[in-house]
Structure 1
C-alpha cells in the first residue's frame, strides 16, 4: 500500500501573525469570525506585538494598567489592525524616504592649483597612488597633495519608490524568542517558525522520534534569496566596499540550505534525510514534493517541510523594482488616480494592479505517513495527495510565464478527480492562486484556471489569493497557501480578495468565482484545494490537498471501523496537548525550541555491524539490511 502523507502540524509567522492554531488565517477573515474568535485573535496579536503582557487572567500594558480580554480588544484592537498585514515599511528596517546610498564624485584643484587634503595614516590607500605626494603632519596624520583628480564616495540618501511590504506584526521580534546572536533574520524566522509547527503537533518530539528509525525522519527546507541582511551574505558582500571585516558566520549562515540545517541541528536533532530545494517562488512546493515522494515510497515516515524568507532589504527591493516587478508608490497613485495611495492595498491580485509586494515569512508543516499518525494518535489537518512540477520549455524571458503551469494544474485536478470523483472536483474544490498582483499574472494565470475548469466541467470555481493580505514571501509563499487552506478546512471561510474593488476586465473570470469578501463554505465544505505557484525561470508547481474529513474517510476505509475509533480516542489527547500549547502561545509563552550544543552524539559510541547501526541516545537502530533494488539485473536477491 502507498503511504498517505498526512499533515499533523503546522506553524510559522508572517504579516498576519502566528500560523499555528489557524491564527494567521483568522486575521485574514477577521470580519467573518464570531465575536469570541475575533477577540481571541486580536488579544493574541496584542500580546505578540508587545502591546500588553499576560499575567494570569489579567493583561497589563507598559504602565501596568490592567485589562480583561474585552478591554484589550477595545483599547488595542485598532493598533493591532494597523500593525499587521501589508503596510508601509517600518523604520526599524530602514527609512523608505531616505535609504542610504553612495554617490561617486571626482575632486580636483581649482584651475591649475594642486589638490591638497589631510588624512589619518591608517586611512591611506594600499598601495599609495604614484601621483600622491605625502607630507607627515605628526605621528598620526599626513598631508596629501596631487595634481590630478581623486575619486571619492559621498554618503547620500534617496527615496525608495517601493514603500510597502508584508512585515511581521509590528513590535514582534523573532530573535527575542531564543539566543539568536549573530543569526540573520531568515534564520531567526526559521527557529521561531519550525518550533511553532513542531509544538503544534501536540505530541512531544521525543515520542515521535522514538517511534521511528533515526533515518526515517526528513527535513526539506530552503529559501530563494539566501540571507541577505548584514549577518549573512549581505554583510559578506558589502564588507570590503564598506571597509569592514568579514565575520566567521556570514558565509556559512548565508547559505540557502540553512532553513533546513537549523531545524536538524538546533530544533529536532535529526540524523535523517535532509534537502534544500530551491525553485524560485515555487520552492515550498518543491520541498513538499520531496517529502510526499519519500513518505509515499517508504523512505521516510516523518517529514518537516518549510521555508523562511527575509527579503525586506533595500538591495533586494531595488533589484525587483528595477525589473518593474514591484508595486511602486507612483504606479499605485496612477492606478487610483489620486495624490495618495493606501499602502495596505498595494497587493491587488486579479484587480487593476502594477506589481507584487515583497514580504517576509516562515512557514513549516509536519507530515507523517498515515500508519504512524494512527499509531501515535496524531491530529490530521489534511493530506497532500500529489505535487506536480513542470518547466516551460524554451523561453525568451526568464521571468515570463509559460506552458508548464498548464501541465501542473491539469495534472493536479486530474489526480484529485481520480481519488474523489468528478462531483468533488466540480462542486467542492477551490484554488489557492499564485496571485502575484502583476498585470501579466492576472491574465495568464486566470486563463489557465478558466481552460482547466472548462475541460473538467467546473463552472463556479472559488479562487483566493493570500498575497492580498501578506504579500509575496517568495520561497515561503506556497506554505502560506497551504496553511491558509487548512484554515478554510477548519473554519469554512474562503478569504476574499479584499484589496480590489472589482475583478479586472482582462481576467478570464467566466468560470471562476473570485470573491471580494469572505466566501462562506460552511454548508458546502471544501474537499480538495489546489495550490498553484509560478516562479521565475519556469518553476511551475501545483499541489492538491485533501480536507481532514476526506482523509478520515480514507483512513476508516483502509484500517476499518474498530481501528479508526481507537485512533479517534488517542487523537483527543493529542488535540488537548496542542490546545495547551496554543493557549500558552496566545499569552506570549512560545517556548521556542533551540538546542545549541545539547545532546550531541559522541561518534566514538556509535555501534554497528553488517546488519544494523546504533547511535547513542537514539531509541531505534538504523537498518543496514538493504534490499537489492536491481535484483532482476544482478541475479542477487
Structure 2
C-alpha cells in the first residue's frame, strides 16, 4: 500500500478587518485591547490611526494635523489631546444615534378609532384610498382629486410611536468611522460594506500583490469561504425588502439579491479578487467563521486549493435583530445590569462580562478576514507567515430540548482539537505553552457550561492553570465573525506576548469551573514563555460547536525547516523582506487614512468568446495559468 503524501500546511499570510477595536491588520485592533500594556510608540501609533479613522484629526502631506487650523501634530500631542476621545469612542459602548435612538425607537402602535355620536368623517387624496374600498366607507368626490370619506363604524390605524429600547449597548465600529465612505458603496447594505473593506484590508496586508499570487496558481486553485448569519437586515437588504409593503413603499431591485447570506463571499469574488475559483458560504450560527475556516483548511491540506480568503461580515445593530435576541432573554439589558450591580445606573462599557457575574451577551458588528496559503506557495512567494491552522473540528449536540441550549458536541470538538495539536507540538507544549480563546458569550449558562468543558479537558490532558481569554469583553458578540476576532487576537498574542485580560469583570463568578483554569482580569504577560498553540472555541445556537488549533509562527518555522531544509528556508527569508516592507508601507498609509480599498466594479470582465478549451485544459483571458482537465480515477480500486 502506498504511503499517503504529506498534508499541505495551511499558513496564515494575511489578516484584516474592522470591529469595535478598529482595524485588524498589523494587529491594531488587538493593540487597542491591550493598549495599557503596550510600549509607548505602539500605543501612540494605534491611537493616532484610530483618531484619523474617527475624523478627530486630519492628514496632510503625510503629517498628522489639526482639523481646525492644519497645524502639525506629534504622537505625544495626539495621545494627550485626542487619546481620551479615541478610547471613549471604541470598544463596547452605548448605541449611537447614527444607528437609532435607544431611548426613542420608532415603532407603529395599532389603534382603533371609533365613531362617537356622529359618523367619522375624513378628507384625503383619491390616490390614497385603499384597494378595494371597504364596503362601509361612503365616498364623496371633492375638487382637485380629493374625496370625503364617511365611516359609520370604527377605523383601524397604525400610529407612529416611540419607545425605550431595554438594550442600550453594542460593539460598534469606532465613532465617526463610515465604512461606506472608503469606496463607491451606493445602496450596499452595511454588512456588505464591511465585507468589502475587511477583505480588502486582509488582501492588502499580505504584502504580495494579488496579481502576483494569481500568476503562481491556477485560476481554480483559489477559494473564498465567507458568509453571515443574519443576512443583510438593514434598509438596503432584507430589512427594507420585508418592511416595504408594511411601510407603503416599494421593493428595490437590489434589496433581494444583496440580502443573501452568501454575499460576503460573492462580493469578495466579484469586486475584490475577480476570482473564478471555488466559493463557499457556510453558516453555523455563531460558529460560522470556524465552519468556513474548516472548509478552507481541508481544501488546502488536500491540495484542492492553494490560496483561500476566509471571513465573515455582520451588521446586526438594528432594532429588529436586537428585539429578537432580547425577547429570548439572551442580551444584557439595562434593567438586568442595574439589578446585577445593585445600582440605579448601568455602565454601557461593561455590559459584556465573560465568566463573571453576567446577564447576557452584547451584540456587535464586525468584519474579519484572513488569507491562507499552502506552505509551499507561501515559501515560493516569500509571504510572511503569522501562524498556521492545523485542524478545525465541528460536532453537533445530538437530540436537543432547546435549540439555544448547549450540549455535548463542544466536549468532542475541544478534546479532538487538543489531542490533534498534541500530536504536532507534544505533551509539554500543550501543558505549558497553550491557551484557549473562549466563546465567552457573557451569559450565565455559558460561563458554567463552557468552563466545565475546559476544566474537564484540562484534567484529561494534565493541564494546570490553563490561560483562558475572552475577546467579547472588548468587542461584543459579532455572531458569524466572532471566531475571526478570536483568531486575529491570537495572532496579536503570538507577536506581542500579551493576553488580553477580561477587564470588564472584577472577579470570576463563583459557579465557574476554574480549578485548572487561569482567567485573568488584567492583561497577562507571556513574553518569557510564549504560546506554541492557541485553541479557538465557538458555540452556536442549534448545536453548532467548533474548535480550532492555531499554531504559533515560531513553531511553524521549525516545521517548515524540517520539511524544506535550511537552504530553502534561507532563500525564503530573503524573499520575505520585500513582503514585509510592502505590508509595512500599507500599514503606514492606512494609519493615515489611506486604506486603498480594493473595489473593481465593471472592470476586468472576462470576454467569454476568448475562452479556450480542449480535452486537457481551459484557458481564460487575463489568467496566467490554464485550468487542468487531466483527471485521474480516484476510485481506480473499484474499477
Q: TM-score range by the shorter chain?
A: over 0.9
Q: Which of 603, 606, 609 in structure 1 is aligned with 2:614?
A: 609
* CA–CA distance in structure 2, aligned partners of residues 583 and 221 of structure 1: 28
Render the CA deviation track for 1:39-76: whole Å, top value 9, x for unaligned: 10101100111111112353223313422221111110
In structure 2, the residue matched to 1:76 is: 82
1:142-291 correspondence runs (5 A): 142-291=147-296
* CA–CA distance in structure 2, aligned partners of residues 32 and 295 of structure 1: 37
In structure 2, the residue matched to 1:56 is: 61
**Contact map agreement 1:613 1:623 (CA 8 A) in 2:** yes
SS of alignment partner, residue 633 of structure 2: coil
2:325 maps to 1:313: no
* Structure 1 unmatched runs, 5+: none
Render the CA deviation track for 1:521-564: whole Å, top value 9, x for unaligned: 00000000000000000000000000000000000000001111
1:36-47 correspondence runs (5 A): 36-47=41-52
2:637 maps to 1:629: no
2:353 maps to 1:342: no
SS of alignment partner, residue 244 of structure 2: helix
SS of alignment partner, residue 343 of structure 1: coil
* CA–CA distance in structure 2, aligned partners of residues 610 and 585 of structure 1: 47
Render the CA deviation track for 1:542-600: whole Å, top value 9, x for unaligned: 00000000000000000001111111111111111100000000010000000001000
Runs of 4+ in 1 over 4 A off after TM superposition: none
* CA–CA distance in structure 1, aligned partners of residues 62 and 367 of structure 2: 30
Q: Which of 542, 545, 556 in structure 2 is aligned with 1:537?
A: 542
* CA–CA distance in structure 2, aligned partners of residues 221 and 241 of structure 1: 32
In structure 1, the residue matched to 2:473 is: 468
Stretch of structure 1 that moved more, 27-36 or 51-60: 51-60
Q: Which of 392, 413, 416 in structure 2 is aligned with 1:411?
A: 416
Shift of 1:250: 0.1
* CA–CA distance in structure 2, aligned partners of residues 267 and 120 of structure 1: 49
In structure 2, the residue matched to 1:374 is: 379
* CA–CA distance in structure 1, aligned partners of residues 435 and 60 of structure 2: 42
Q: Which of 507, 520, 542 in structure 2 is aligned with 1:502?
A: 507
2:117 maps to 1:107: no
* Structure 2 unmatched runs, 5+: 1-5
* CA–CA distance in structure 2, aligned partners of residues 416 and 548 of structure 1: 14
Shift of 1:138: 1.3
Shift of 1:122: 1.0
In structure 2, the residue matched to 1:322 is: 327
* CA–CA distance in structure 1, aligned partners of residues 145 and 112 of structure 2: 26
Render the CA deviation track for 1:432-483: whole Å, top value 9, x for unaligned: 0000000000000000000000000001100000000000000000000000
**Contact map agreement 2:62 2:592 (CA 8 A) in 1:** no
SS of alignment partner, residue 486 of structure 2: helix
Shift of 1:278: 0.1
1:323-472 correspondence runs (5 A): 323-472=328-477
Shift of 1:280: 0.1
Render the CA deviation track for 1:486-532: whole Å, top value 9, x for unaligned: 00000000000000000000000110000000000000000000000
* CA–CA distance in structure 1, aligned partners of residues 109 and 286 of structure 2: 33
* CA–CA distance in structure 1, aligned partners of residues 62 and 626 of structure 2: 47
SS of alignment partner, residue 397 of structure 2: coil
* CA–CA distance in structure 2, aligned partners of residues 130 and 604 of structure 1: 61
Instruction: Calculate the TM-score normalised by the size of structure 1.
Output: 0.99
Shift of 1:139: 2.8
SS of alignment partner, residue 45 of structure 1: helix
* CA–CA distance in structure 1, aligned partners of residues 160 and 272 of structure 2: 42
**Contact map agreement 1:57 1:68 (CA 8 A) in 2:** no
In structure 2, the residue matched to 1:92 is: 98
Instruction: Calculate the TM-score normalised by the size of structure 2.
Output: 0.99
* CA–CA distance in structure 1, aligned partners of residues 276 and 206 of structure 2: 20
* CA–CA distance in structure 2, aligned partners of residues 295 and 51 of structure 1: 43
* CA–CA distance in structure 1, aligned partners of residues 233 and 67 of structure 2: 34
| Matched length | 633
* CA–CA distance in structure 2, aligned partners of residues 247 and 57 of structure 1: 42
**Contact map agreement 2:337 2:351 (CA 8 A) in 1:** yes
Shift of 1:403: 0.2
SS of alignment partner, residue 245 of structure 2: helix
**Contact map agreement 1:347 1:355 (CA 8 A) in 2:** yes
* CA–CA distance in structure 2, aligned partners of residues 233 and 617 of structure 1: 35
1:548-567 correspondence runs (5 A): 548-567=553-572
SS of alignment partner, residue 251 of structure 1: helix
SS of alignment partner, residue 215 of structure 1: helix
